[in-house]
Amino acid sequence: MDEKRHIVTIVIEDREKAFNHVSELIHQHASYILLRVGYPMRDRNVSVIFLIMEANLDILGSFAGKLGQIESVKVKTMTLKV
């Protein structure tokens, strides 16, 4: 499959419960990540992470699926058409 670039938005609604799991998955897929920007809102116990990834759709789907299975985590992906 062709590698394409994707935007991945991750919202962690309970940092104490899910942040370590999300960080571990991001670390496992680090070779596909071109950009990572995080915005922790400590006063609300929420974090938002934006990623730009270069991967095929199988890898992206697997990554997003694993993130989506973590309690209090929401994931959105968008493939860039460039």
Which alpha helices (H) appear in 1-82, and where do they start and end?
Answer: 15-28, 57-68
Mean pLDDT of 51-78: 97
Interior angle at CA 78, CA 4 and CA 9, nearest 5: 115
Calpha distance 74→31 (Å, rounded): 22
- The shares of helix, strand and coil residues in the chain, as percent rounded to the nearest 5, are 40, 45, 20
Q: What is the pLDDT of residue 24?
A: 97
Reported as a single tens digit per residue, the pLDDT across 5-54 is 999 999 999 999 999 999 999 999 999 999 999 999 999 999 999 999 99
Classify domain 4-79 by CATH number: 3.30.70.1150
Overall residue count recorded for the chain in this entry: 82
46 CB-side CA count, 13 A: 7
Q: What is the pLDDT of residue 82?
A: 78
Tokens of 29: 């897929």
Calpha distance 66→18 (Å, rounded): 12
